[in-house]
Amino acid sequence: MAKEVKVNYTEAMVEQILTMYGELGNDGMDAIAAAVGRPVRSVRAKLVREGAYVAPVKGPKVEKEEGPTKKELLIELATLVDFDVEGLTGATKGALADLVAFAKESQDSAADDSVDDLSDESAESE
């Protein structure tokens, strides 16, 4: 009572897959799958099993932009503003950086205004 093994790929299909893969490479996986009437994952698995599949080369790793961490931004923001920044821990790094820049800008413009006020007062007293 031998159990019959179901053959998913005939020899002709395997030969066709290997030939097409040799010509088209990884870019032609969709065309190969369509030609043999099988899903791309199945064709890829068959190529791996046959020892012909070569995984695509990944691109170079993109360098992350270094800079202050969110914690450092929150500490800086806490020194610039007179309210509790604990509730901002869920904010994105970009949003925190924008807030810090805004707070610095506001302090600078306030300092400029006070210098202008002092110079106006000294000009009036003369």
CB of 73 within 8 A of CB of 93?
yes
Span 20-37, mean pLDDT?
92
pLDDT tens readout for residues 48-90: 999 999 888 888 888 877 788 889 999 999 998 888 888 888 8
Q: C-alpha angle 10/15/18, rounded to 5°?
A: 125
Please, are residues 43 and 29 in contact by the beta-carbon 8 Å criterion? yes
Q: If pLDDT is split at 50, 70 and 90, which confidence band does 5 have?
A: confident
pLDDT score, position 108? 81
Measure the CA–CA gap between 73 and 17, rounded to whole angstroms.
56
Would you say 14 and 46 are in contact if contact means Cβ atoms under 8 Å apart? yes
In angstroms, the CA 60 to CA 70 distance is: 26
- Helices of type H across the chain: 11-24, 29-36, 40-50, 70-80, 93-125
DSSP string, 43-54: HHHHHHHHT---
